[in-house]
Each structure stands twice: as structure tokens, then as C-alpha cells.
Structure 1
Amino acid sequence: MTAISATTPIPANSTWTVDPVHSTVGFAVKHMVVSTFRGQFDDYSATLTANEDGTLTLEGRVAADSIAVKDENLATHLKAPDFFDTERHPYVTFSSTLVRADNGSLTVDGELTIKGNSRPIEARGVITEPHETFGGVEKVGLELEAVVDRTQYGLDWNAPLPKGGFALANEVKLQINLELAQPEA
């Protein structure tokens, strides 16, 4: 794991863990050619570490069966082998290989593993510097987006539409909004 940070507002030798109440891990995909379908995962963890040399690393894990969509039948299909195959592949994981923060902008390179398929990924977004919140808790924020081809991760299901096109686009936008806090001593 390599991490480089040009200018980071995060103090060295600090670890930050996700506040799941105030964070979201979601996705968006073009559906039936005409709209964007959104969903999210309800069970996830993430850790941001600022190393002694000031470099940053980001690690995350999502319980694939915690997928949350508005239709129970769709949720069941998304957990099946056509999509996440949660029985055989219970987690989606991410591990950073390079983190670059500069004046609030953030670029995170890493390896995303879905359904046993690991691929390099680049996410872009913003990082907020530490800020004291209620009860004296220090928090930082990360907002990241990345676009992946779902078929490269074995999420191949699709259906042709009667007049052309497909039910689902292959490109999926991952949208990660994390509020992270330093663990209490």
C-alpha cells in the first residue's frame, strides 16, 4: 500500500473511522435508457489513516447483502448470482494505493473488489479539514465519486429493450460521502 499526499489538512499519526449515521455509500446507474436509478448500502466501514510522514490511506468494506433499494424483489435479485452473489461474496472491499490531497481536492487510487474481481479504480472528490463538532468530537469529511464498468466485476445481468437499448447501463457511478471521527481515547 502506497500513499502520497501533497497537502493534507489531516494531522499526522491520526486515525479516523466512519460515522455511519451521517455517511452514505451509494451508486447510480442509467435504467431503461431514460432515467438514473440510485441505491445504497446500509452496512459499511471505512478508516482514514494519516501516517507519520503525512501520507493518507483509505480502507473500506461494504456488506453486499445490505443493499437498500425501494423494491424487495429487486433487492433479492441484486443479492443473487446475477449481481452481487452475496452468499458467496459477502463483501465489497476497497484499499487505497495512492491518495493525493491538495487544497481540499482529493484523488484516491486503489483497488476495488466486487464478487471476487479486483480492479484498479480512481475516485475524485473533496476532503474537509478536521472540525470540532458537538461534544468536542473532531471530524473530517470525504466526498468521492468514481465510475466503474459493472461487467468488469462480474455484474453482467442485462435485458434488451423492445425498441433497442438495454435495461441497465454498464457504467455505474459510485458515490461515497463519509463523515469520519477520531475514536474516543
Structure 2
Amino acid sequence: MKIISILSACALGAMLANATPYEVDNAHSSVGFKIKHMSISNVIGNFKDFSAEIDAEDGKLNKLSAVVKTVSVFTDNEKRDAHLQADDFFGSEKFPDMKFEMKEFAPDKVKGELTIRDITKEVEFDYDFGGEAKQGDKDKIGFSLEGKIKRSDFNFAPGSGTAMLGDDIKISIEIEAVAK
């Protein structure tokens, strides 16, 4: 039993030794969403302020931990953006951060815990590795995450019926990251 533990520890150490930490290149990344409005059209928006801890090797994510600042929501409409920061939506003053912590990785899926308004739920995103590149002396990677969450799961806009505001929120994330 002791030998198995030692071998497991060595294998984990070797795996982590080859992994690379990355930081998000915000100029080439985005965190976006789409939600149905009045059952007839979609409102599209994004967040301007986000960060992530990423550890990857050969297209495989070993770690993905992200924080999105809710006050940075942007839908190209100042009045709507202010309303989205209010207590009945993000409650940005009380809940300034949305957080994601990856718990499981598969070649085409990322599973983890998403926290919005201090409510944490398990979510799953489709994962698409874009590739690797070198820019000057820096290694870069790119990947996409797409998925869907229910706003009702997070007590988000509880006073809005689904005829006014859909329950499904589509999430689309594009990440370009630079090796630290």
C-alpha cells in the first residue's frame, strides 16, 4: 500500500511539473451571455473585468479558477447596465464577484461550481481547445467554453417572469492566455 501511495505521489508530481500556469490576456478574451427578453428577442452582454488562474498542458486544463466582477456588466445600454447591477439582479454592491472553480476536466467538457449572489451550483461547459502559439518569447493557449445556466437556480431576477426574461442564460467564454 505504501508503494502505491509513493508511486501516485510521484506521478502527480511529474504531471504538475509539466503543467504551465497561465494568465488571461483580457485584450483577446471575453466573458459573454445571452438571455431571451419578452420571449421575442435576445439581450446580449459581457463583462469587462474578469480574471482567472489557469494551469494547463497539452490542451488539458489542470486548474481553472475564475472571478468576474458583476459591476463590469456591459450590454451597450447604460440604463440597463445600472439596472443589472441593482439588488433584484446581480446585487453588485453586496455580491461583487461571480466565481467559477473547475472540479472535473474531460477532453470536451469542464465541470465545476459557479457562484452567483452567494449561491453555488454545479455547472458544465462544453470545452474546445483552440491551440497553442508562441508570440515572441511567450507561450500562449486559447480555448472556448459554452454552456447554459438557469437564472432561477441563482435567485437572479426573481421578480421577472419567464415571459419577460427567459430562465435560460447562455454563457460564451473565449480565453487567450499567456504563460507566466
- For the aligned pair, the TM-score class normalised by the smaller chain equals 0.7 to 0.9
- CA separation in 2, counterparts of 1:108 and 1:125? 6
Q: 2:52 is matched with which residue: 46, 70, 77?
A: 46
2:165 to 159, 164, 168: 168
Cα–Cα, structure 1 residues 114 and 137, in superposed 2: closer, same or farther, change >3 Å?
same
- Runs of 5+ unmatched residues, structure 1: 1-10
CA distance in 1, matches of 2:146, 2:41: 19
Q: Aligned partners of 1:55 and 1:159: how far apart in 2?
A: 37
Residue pair 2:105, 2:111 contacting (<8 A) in 1 also? yes
- Structure-2 separation of matches of 1:50 and 1:178: 13
Runs of 4+ in 1 over 2 A off after TM superposition: 156-160
Match of 1:64 among 51, 56, 70: 70
Question: Which residue does the alignment assign to 2:13?
Answer: none
Letter in 2 for 1:65: V
Distance in 2 separating the partners of 1:155 and 1:92: 12
1:159 deviation in Å? 4.3
**Matched ranges for 1:17-56 at <5 A:** 17-50=23-56, 56=62
State the alpha-carbon separation in 2 of the partners of residues 143 and 24 from structure 1.
10
The match for 1:146 is 147
Matched residue count: 162
* CA shift for structure 1 position 89: 0.5
Which aligned pairs between 1:77-156 and structure 2 lie closer than 5 A? 77-101=83-107, 106-133=108-135, 135-156=136-157
Q: Is 2:88–2:159's contact at 8 Å kept on the other side of the alignment?
A: no
RMSD: 1.8
Normalising by the residue count of structure 1, what TM-score does the alignment of the two structures yield? Answer: 0.82
Partner of 1:182: 179
- CA deviation after TM superposition for structure 1 residue 168, in Å: 0.9
1:50 aligned partner, one-letter code: A
Deviation track 1:102-143 (CA, whole Å, cap 9, x = no partner) reads xxxx3100000000000000000301332112x232111110
**Amino-acid identity (%):** 29
- 3-state SS of the aligned residue for 2:111? strand
Q: Distance in 2 between matches of 1:15 and 1:173?
A: 28
> Which structure has the larger Rg?
2
Indicate conservation of the 8 Å contact 2:19/2:62, yes or no.
no
Alignment check: 8 A CA contact 2:131 2:143 kept: no
Q: For 1:177 and 1:93, how far apart are their aligned partners in 2?
A: 16
